Amino acid sequence: METKIVKRDGKEVLFSIDKIKDAISKAFIASGTFATEETLTAVLSHLRVRSGMGVEDIQNQVEVALMAEGYFQVAKNYMVYRYKHSEDRETLEKLNFLIDYCSASNAATGSKYDANANVEKKNIATLIGELPKSNYIRLNRRLLTNRIEKMFGKEVADKYINLLNTHVLYKNDETSLANYCASVTMYPWLLEGTKAIGGNAVAPTNLKAFCGGFVNMVFMVSSMLSGACATPEFLMYMNYFCEKEYGEDYYKRADEVVELSLKNRTIDKILTDCFQQVVYSINQPAGARNYQSVFWNISYYDRYYFESIFGDFRFPDGEKPHWDSLNWLQKRFMRWFNQERTRAVLTFPVETMALLSENGDVKDKEYADFTAQMYAEGHSFFTYMSDSADSLASCCRLRNEITDNGFSYTLGAGGVSTGSKSVLTINLNRAIQYAVRQGIAYQDYIEQVVDLMHKVQLAYDANLHELQKQGMLPLFDSGFVNLSRQYLTIGVNGLVEGAEFLGIKITDNDDYAHYVQEVLGIIEKKNKEYRTKDVMFNCEMIPAENVGVKHAKWDKEDGYVVPRECYNSYFYVVEDESLNVMDKFKLHGRRYVEHLTGGSALHCNLEEHLSQAQYRNLLRVAAQEGTNYFTFNIPNTVCNKCGHIDKRYLKACPECGSTDLDYLTRIIGYLKRISNFSEARQREAARRYYANQSKLGQAV
């Protein structure tokens, strides 16, 4: 049988003994001697080469073999030769990358490792951020495999690298050293400002200090995370400072002039100016994040969620949060943000409305009506619906079980502090097809891979604890993020494509439901098996902004069945025109999302806005079907000529008639100009199917 080994770039090549002989001979010559055929045979007899092994691994063995045979000077020259080669190769790679990046059509297309549309324009600052990424990948891999070896042995570490190289597994955010995303509690900030995380700001004592300080705090926290920073308490805290400033009934006196300057600002004007300051500041490109803005998420709550999460909450001065004023402020912010988005392209915050369901409808009717109204007015946000307030979606997609909702005077509301430490993703389409090729049951193969994924995640976790021990993670030490409330996430991609390969129809039918439950059930089972009091696992259908494209490309190159250029992040096929809106709600309903403990949002693509009554009906549908996480996407139109932004999906600008238009839509969780998407993602966006009124389905 021929042996295939894996090159540094992940490509498999036929193993050639002559190449190794040649390199060893050169090292002998560089040492002033000559290797006879007997010498070479003796050295080579130490090597153990098997399929799937990496080039570096074999070179390491050669070094050991030379030393074992007593050729120490030759071994040294061989190492020097390797090192020089890798140095040359690296410089050349970087140079090529630099040339490609500068000539790419936009930043997301130019990025080689983790393209993302959150970078508006490519420039020298974004290039500086891109260049060291390959080194980070190498460093992160080494840190992780060293730890895996220590905890589970070399075989597990080798298997992991092999699964990465053969694209069964994908390690998300390998280009960053920081852990992934977090929903933070701002309580430590109220107690002692940003000192505990290395800042110099004291705790805010008034509204102005709150707004300015909040922006700084989010930037600081985000610089220590690789993913999103969610602040589910933002409006609740802001409300507290509004009350401090203008009295508990401030919202009843919103039109009152409270400023003595010539501007004569009312309470309402001052508050919307605060919104403006915070939102515009946070949407600025951030130096610490390679010139992309920070990913910022906030939450709104209906009355029942509010009571469940903040019922026992007390501010440091003993004050309770008040629902009536917060209710007003939440609505004010949402309406303001919807309006502001006709003035500027504002990506953040990603907003999630948390609604409690009961008896097939939203329990808080006032909030159900308001949510439907905001959708009808063209606002774009997520809704998270649950029949118990025991989980919360705080990131643009991450659903988290609230393990401890207690309040403490040092940490604030327990329920909001959560997130994901690390995401490791299985490419299900590849795994299933590989298993079928090998003649083994795909369920067994997936179980094997998923088991290994848990070991890898435990090793990641051990490294994180090590960092914390050395004082490198002040976010955790200071209580902004609670390490034991953060999940290790098993991501899935290619779920739909794997089913298509097996010949299963992607509609709401028993075969498909069985397949989804079976595959995700394997992960859920392992998540429970590996859970301890210190580590928790969840499962998420990852949004795969660039992984979806990469998986499709790699799988195609290796001869697997690949039905589309970008793997889906949904339970249905995005370009499928035969499914109506009801079908999609069903396909993201309880039958399918049951084991998806980390969440997956239905992105309901519509051609035009629905009425409030229609959205209200869809909220009922969601409550009945158990569709716990969804949003509606109606592309907004941006005129490139006059700058007009319209909430509708138009073919010509209503202001100037120009047809030079760009559209805003969600790439994954966040709203961006389509022209900022990577080229592959732009093609994917063009294939998305947007339903019209005739495709709503019966109940609507």
> In the bound complex, what is the minimum distance in angstroms from residue 352's beta carbon to Zn ion?
32
Binding letters toward Zn ion, positions 377-406, x by CB under 5 A: ------------------------------
128 binds Zn ion (CB under 5 A): no
Q: Measure the CA–CA gap between 463 and 477, rounded to whole angstroms.
A: 16
CB closer to Zn ion, 466 vs 655? 655
660 binds Zn ion (CB under 5 A): no
* 543: Cα within 13 Å, side-chain hemisphere: 19
Pick the stretch among 85-93, 134-142, 246-254, 654-662 that binds Zn ion (CB under 5 A): 654-662
> In the bound complex, what is the minimum distance in angstroms from residue 652's beta carbon to Zn ion?
8
Pick the stretch among 5-13, 37-45, 507-515, 640-648 that binds Zn ion (CB under 5 A): 640-648
Q: What is the CA radius of gyration of the chain?
A: 27
CB closer to Zn ion, 92 vs 656? 656
> In the bound complex, what is the minimum distance in angstroms from residue 645's beta carbon to Zn ion?
10
> In the bound complex, what is the minimum distance in angstroms from residue 658's beta carbon to Zn ion?
5
642 binds Zn ion (CB under 5 A): yes
Handedness of CA 572, 574, 577, 582 (dihedral sign): positive
Pick the stretch among 38-46, 140-148, 607-615, 657-665 that binds Zn ion (CB under 5 A): 657-665
Pick the stretch among 462-470, 478-486, 611-619, 645-653 that binds Zn ion (CB under 5 A): 645-653
| Nearest-10 crossing angle of helices 154-165, 133-152 | 140
> In the bound complex, what is the minimum distance in angstroms from residue 649's beta carbon to Zn ion?
15
With beta carbons less than 8 A apart as the criterion, state whether 396 and 118 touch. Answer: no
Pick the stretch among 33-41, 129-137, 278-286, 658-666 that binds Zn ion (CB under 5 A): 658-666
DSSP secondary structure of 271-282 = HHHHHHHHHHHH
With beta carbons less than 8 A apart as the criterion, state whether 406 and 421 touch. Answer: no
> In the bound complex, what is the minimum distance in angstroms from residue 688's beta carbon to Zn ion?
24
CB closer to Zn ion, 257 vs 642? 642
Binding residues for Zn ion, how many (CB under 5 A)?
A: 8
Which two tokens mark 462?
A: 């051990």
With beta carbons less than 8 A apart as the criterion, state whether 411 and 615 touch. Answer: no
**Closest Cα to residue 160, out of 459, 535, 428, 429?**
459
> In the bound complex, what is the minimum distance in angstroms from residue 674's beta carbon to Zn ion?
17
CB closer to Zn ion, 360 vs 654? 654
> DSSP assignment, residue 294?
P
Which two tokens mark 281?
A: 């500041």
User: Sheet of 661-666: strands edge to edge?
Assistant: 645-646, 636-639, 661-666, 671-673
> In the bound complex, what is the minimum distance in angstroms from residue 655's beta carbon to Zn ion?
4
Which two tokens mark 690?
A: 């947007």
653 binds Zn ion (CB under 5 A): yes
| Segments of 444-577 assigned E as strands | 486-493, 536-541
- Select from 639, 664, 667, 691 the one that contacts Zn ion (CB under 5 A): 639
> In the bound complex, what is the minimum distance in angstroms from residue 642's beta carbon to Zn ion?
3
CB closer to Zn ion, 252 vs 641? 641
Angle at 658 (CA atoms; ends 656, 663), nearest 5 degrees: 110
Which two tokens mark 533?
A: 């009091």
Pick the stretch among 150-158, 314-322, 644-652, 666-674 that binds Zn ion (CB under 5 A): 644-652
Q: Measure the CA–CA gap between 103 and 82, rounded to whole angstroms.
A: 32
For Zn ion, the binding residues (CB under 5 A) are 639, 641-642, 644, 653, 655-656, 658
